[in-house]
Amino acid sequence: MTQYSPLRWQLLPLIAATCLLPSLAQADDSILSLKLENDGLSSSDDGHFTSGFELNWAFEPSEESWMQRLAVALPDSLIGSADMAAFRLVHQIYTPDNIQRRELIEDDRPYAGLVYGGISLYEDVPMGNWRQATDLHLDIGLVGPSSLADSIQREVHRVTNSDRPNGWRNQLGDEGLVNVAMRRQWWHTTPLAGKQFAHGPSVGGALGNLYTYASAGYSVRWGDEASGIPTLTPNPGSRHHMSGSNGWQWYVFANVEGYYMAHNLTLDGNTFRNSHSVDRKEWVGDISAGLALAWEDWQVTYAAVQRSREFDGQEEQDKFGAITLSKRF
C-alpha cells in the first residue's frame, strides 16, 4: 500500500509562493498565465502524458530585484540581463495506456506524478536582421505519491464519469527534483500580407534528475508581432505573448524539434531506489502547430503536438494539446 510522505512536502508549493511575494511586488508589465496540457485536447487517448497544469507569472524585473542581479552575475555567454523573468508552479500526471489494470504493466510507462516550482530569466538581443531570444530555467520539486497525482486523477475521473485509474500503487516513489535548462532561439522577421512572418532555428539543453537532453528545432510564425511561440513539455517556460495590446490580434505557428534524451525520470524510474522503468529511446522528435488570439490584455493560445515513440514497445506515437489563457497587468 502506498504511503504518503510527511505533510511538509505537500506544503512546498505554498511555502515557495509565499517567499516569492516580495519579488512580485516589485514587478512591472506583468502577465499571469494558466496553461492546461492534456491528451484529450488533441486525441481520444487517456494515457502516457495524461495532463499538465502550469501557473506562470511573468514580469519585467526592476534593476534592484534579486532576479536581475542574478542575471547580471551570470556569464555573458548565458545571459547579460533579464528583460523578463517568471515564476511558475507545475503539476503533471503520467500513466500507462491501460489505467484500469491493477497489476504492474511492465512494457508500458510508469505511473508518475510531478509537482515543482521554477524561475525563468529571458533576454532578447538584436543581431542585425535577427533577434536572439535566450531562456534560462531552474526547477525544484518532487515526483511520487506526495504530488497527490493519484487522488487528483481519481477525483477528475469520478466527476467526468471516466474509467477509474486502478494502478497507482505501482507509481514512482517520492524523490526530490532539481533541473536546469537553457533554450536559445533566433528569429528573422519580415512583412508578409500585412502581417509579420517570423522564422528561425533553436537549440536547447537540460541537466538534472528529471530531464537531461540536448535539442534543436525550427519555428515559423505568421500574424501580429509576438515574443515567440508556446513551448511544450519537456521544454519549460514559454514566450508566446503578443507584443501589442490594442484590439484583436492573432498569429499561427508551427515547430519541429528533435531531442537527444540522455535521461527522463518519468521513463527511467527513480534515481535512488528500485522502481518500474522502461527502455527509453534516445532520439525523440516533436511536430507542433497552433493558433493564438488576443483581445486587449487577454490572450488564449492553443497548441497540438505529435511526439515520436519514447520507449521500446510503445505501440503508437503520442498526441496531446495545450491551451493557455493569459492576462496582462
Give the model confidence (pLDDT) of 82-95 as tens digits.
Answer: 999 999 999 999 99
What is the number of other CB atoms lying within 10 angstroms of the CB of residue 20?
16
Confidence check: pLDDT of 59 > 90: yes
**CA 56 – CA 91 distance, rounded (Å):** 12
17-31, 145-159, 199-213: which is most confident: 199-213
Percent of the chain with pLDDT over 70: 90
Confidence of residue 1 (pLDDT cuts 50, 70, 90): very low
- For 234, the 3-state DSSP assignment is coil
Cα Rg, the chain, nearest whole Å: 20
Strand partners, 234: none
**CA 32 – CA 298 distance, rounded (Å):** 10
pLDDT at 31: 95
Confidence check: pLDDT of 69 > 80: yes
Confidence check: pLDDT of 20 > 70: no
pLDDT at 238: 81
Fill in the amino acid letter for 241.
H
What is the number of other CB atoms lying within 10 angstroms of the CB of residue 5?
14
Average pLDDT over residues 157-167: 87
pLDDT at 222: 98
Confidence of residue 109 (pLDDT cuts 50, 70, 90): very high
Fill in the amino acid letter for 43.
S
Confidence check: pLDDT of 264 > 90: yes
Place of cell 495590446: 245
Confidence check: pLDDT of 190 > 80: yes
Q: Which long-range contacts (CB under 8 A, 24 or more apart) does 72-77 make?
A: 74/136
* Dihedral sign (CA 71, 72, 78, 81): positive
CA distances from 72 to 81, 83, 122, 136 (A): 5, 11, 12, 13
90 neighbors 52 (Cβ within 8 angstroms): yes
196 neighbors 222 (Cβ within 8 angstroms): yes
pLDDT at 209: 97
Confidence check: pLDDT of 14 > 50: no
- Cβ neighbors of 14 (< 8 A, separation 6 or more) are none
Confidence of residue 10 (pLDDT cuts 50, 70, 90): very low
Confidence of residue 47 (pLDDT cuts 50, 70, 90): low
Average pLDDT over residues 136-151: 96
**CA 81 – CA 123 distance, rounded (Å):** 6
Which cell numbers in the block locate residue 136?
534560462
Fill in the amino acid letter for 22.
P
Structure confidence by residue, pLDDT tens digits, 225-236: 999 999 989 998
Confidence check: pLDDT of 2 > 80: no
pLDDT at 126: 95
**CA 213 – CA 282 distance, rounded (Å):** 9
Q: Where do the domains of the chain lie, and which CATH numbers do they carry?
A: 31-328 (2.40.128.140)
**CA 326 – CA 329 distance, rounded (Å):** 10
pLDDT at 46: 62
Structure confidence by residue, pLDDT tens digits, 280-329: 999 999 999 999 999 999 999 999 999 999 999 998 999 999 999 999 99
DSSP state of 61: -
Percent of the chain with pLDDT over 90: 78
Looking at 273-316, list the stretches that DSSP marks H as alpha helix, in order from N- to C-terminal side: none
DSSP state of 170: G
Average pLDDT over residues 215-227: 97
- For 189, the 3-state DSSP assignment is strand
Average pLDDT over residues 4-16: 43
Burial 234-257 (b: 16+ CB within 10 A, else e): bbbbbbbbbeeeeeebbbebbbeb
Confidence check: pLDDT of 28 > 60: no
Mean pLDDT, the chain, integer: 90
